[in-house]
């Protein structure tokens, strides 16, 4: 049996020989952080690539969530999804905001718009959905609800780098959207992230907030934080941006290989591509129907590991099951049946640009009995 490990992800790395001259440039300039030349170049390049006029770079993907909530002065209660990475809800907690969990759509894994209204109270000020796995949320319905009730919308778009619907970036939806450029994401700057907003004024304010609130040498306009991206990561990010389209193409090929085999396996469900969407193939989740497949999710998960295939149970447990949140009224199991079902049946298969066809074959063998 082949024991070479196949991990769930592997970072997209720029060619080292192209990185070294950039490092030389940074060393020569001695300007290593604080809106340097690579920071400016990466902001501009991402603004063009993502087709969003206003974007601000951050040091990771959690601080833009925390900062967006500060900038929009969100308080009280915020409606969000339990089916995500913990950072989504932690950002609310760090702002003293009470998360209100609403169940997800069983097909897409995203916040179910039909269930949002029932969770709105006089204390609700915003909705914070996640485009989970890069699946676009129903942004039109969410906007309609937000407009009706006077709520802000902040999208956690950590998974949605480069995702478009009908040729439009999903980052255009809502008041603001956040991105993560963590090593495990489709596009990475090692650690990094960004906040997308829709006016020059909003960008200016965010740029102040991510630099302690400084609006000039002696002027501090808000209790800001430090979440600036440094020059080394910005330079690395500029190089990775050049190869991200090729990486997404390769991920698409892997997804197609997975789908064509797994569609024949009873009890294994995968997402299908939506024709109007440019997907980024950030993750490849499969959902195991215990009865039909003849094995529990966890049994399959460990069986795969015996064959050297290290999937991950993203997103299990639900955020609402962690100690910080499980006492909340909205965390009750009866409130979140669809999210629970996804969390209890999911395994994300290995998905990254340097995964070989042979490795894809080994992953498939570990799932197909
Ligand atoms: C990765 C991720 C984050 C956090 O990003 P970091 O860059 O790791 O801080 C936030 N939300 C979601 C949904 C994520 O997957």
Q: Identify the pLDDT of residue 154.
A: 99
Q: Identify the pLDDT of residue 1.
A: 54
Residue 251 has pLDDT above 60, yes or no: yes
Mean pLDDT of 51-79: 98
Q: Identify the pLDDT of residue 2.
A: 57
With a 6 Å cutoff on the Cβ, whether 156 touches ligand 1 is yes
Q: Identify the pLDDT of residue 271.
A: 95
pTM, full prediction: 0.97
With a 6 Å cutoff on the Cβ, whether 85 touches ligand 1 is yes
CA dist., res. 262 & res. 213, Å (int):
51
Residue 362: pLDDT band (50, 70, 90) is very high
Q: Which atom of ligand 1 is nearest to the CA of 87?
A: 10
With a 6 Å cutoff on the Cβ, whether 130 touches ligand 1 is yes
Distance (angstroms) between ligand 1 centre and the Cα of 111 equals 17
Residue linked to tokens 């906007």 = 143
Mean pLDDT of 191-211: 98
Residues 6 or more apart in contact with residue 298 via CB below 8 angstroms: none
Distance (angstroms) between ligand 1 centre and the Cα of 82 equals 14
The per-residue pLDDT for range 77-88, each reduced to its tens digit, is: 999 999 999 999
Return the ∠ at Cα 250 (arms to 275 and 184), rounded to 5°.
100
CA 148 to chain centre: 27
Q: Which atom of ligand 1 is nearest to the CA of 65?
A: 10
Distance (angstroms) between ligand 1 centre and the Cα of 32 equals 25
Nearest-10 Cα torsion for 54, 58, 60, 62: -70
Residue 315: pLDDT band (50, 70, 90) is very high
Nearest residue by C-alpha to atom 5 in ligand 1 = 61
What proportion of the chain, given as a percentage, has pLDDT over 90?
99
With a 6 Å cutoff on the Cβ, whether 207 touches ligand 1 is no
CA dist., res. 127 & res. 104, Å (int):
13
Distance (angstroms) between ligand 1 centre and the Cα of 60 equals 8
Residue 369: pLDDT band (50, 70, 90) is confident
The per-residue pLDDT for range 35-60, each reduced to its tens digit, is: 999 999 999 999 999 999 999 999 99
Nearest-10 Cα torsion for 189, 190, 196, 201: -80
Q: Which atom of ligand 1 is nearest to the CA of 192?
A: 7
């Amino acid at each position: 049996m082949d024991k070479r490990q196949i991990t769930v992800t592997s970072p997209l790395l720029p060619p080292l020989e192209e990185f070294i001259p950039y490092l030389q440039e940074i060393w020569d300039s001695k300007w290593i952080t604080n809106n340097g030349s690579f920071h400016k170049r990466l902001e501009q390049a991402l603004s063009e690539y993502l087709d969003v006029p206003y974007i601000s770079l951050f040091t990771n993907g959690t601080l833009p969530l925390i900062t967006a909530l500060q900038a929009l002065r969100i308080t009280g209660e915020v409606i969000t999804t339990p089916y995500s990475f913990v950072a989504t809800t932690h950002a609310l907690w760090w702002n003293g905001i009470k998360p209100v969990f609403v169940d997800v759509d069983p097909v897409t894994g995203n916040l179910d718009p039909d269930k949002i209204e029932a969770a709105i109270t006089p204390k609700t000020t915003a909705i914070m959905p996640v485009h989970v796995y890069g699946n676009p949320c129903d942004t039109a319905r969410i906007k309609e609800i937000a407009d009706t009730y006077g709520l802000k919308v902040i999208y956690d778009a950590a998974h949605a780098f480069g995702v478009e619907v009908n040729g439009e970036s999903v980052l255009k939806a809502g008041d603001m959207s956040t991105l993560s450029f963590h090593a495990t994401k489709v596009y990475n700057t090692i650690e990094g992230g960004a906040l997308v907003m829709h006016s020059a004024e909003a960008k200016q304010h965010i740029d102040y907030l991510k630099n302690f609130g400084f609006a000039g040498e002696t002027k501090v306009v808000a209790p800001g934080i430090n979440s600036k991206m440094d020059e080394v990561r910005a330079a690395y990010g500029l190089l990775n941006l050049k190869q991200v389209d090729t990486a997404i193409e390769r991920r698409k090929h892997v997804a197609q290989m997975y789908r064509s085999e797994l569609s024949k396996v009873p009890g294994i469900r995968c997402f299908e591509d939506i024709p109007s969407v440019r997907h980024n193939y950030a993750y490849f989740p499969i959902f195991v129907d215990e009865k039909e497949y003849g094995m529990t999710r966890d049994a399959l998960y460990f069986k795969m590991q015996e064959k050297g295939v290290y999937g991950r149970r993203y997103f299990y447990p639900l955020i609402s099951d962690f100690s910080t949140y499980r006492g909340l009224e909205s965390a009750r199991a009866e409130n979140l049946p669809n999210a629970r079902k996804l969390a209890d049946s999911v395994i994300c298969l290995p998905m990254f640009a340097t995964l070989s066809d042979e490795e894809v074959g080994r992953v498939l063998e570990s799932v197909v009995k």
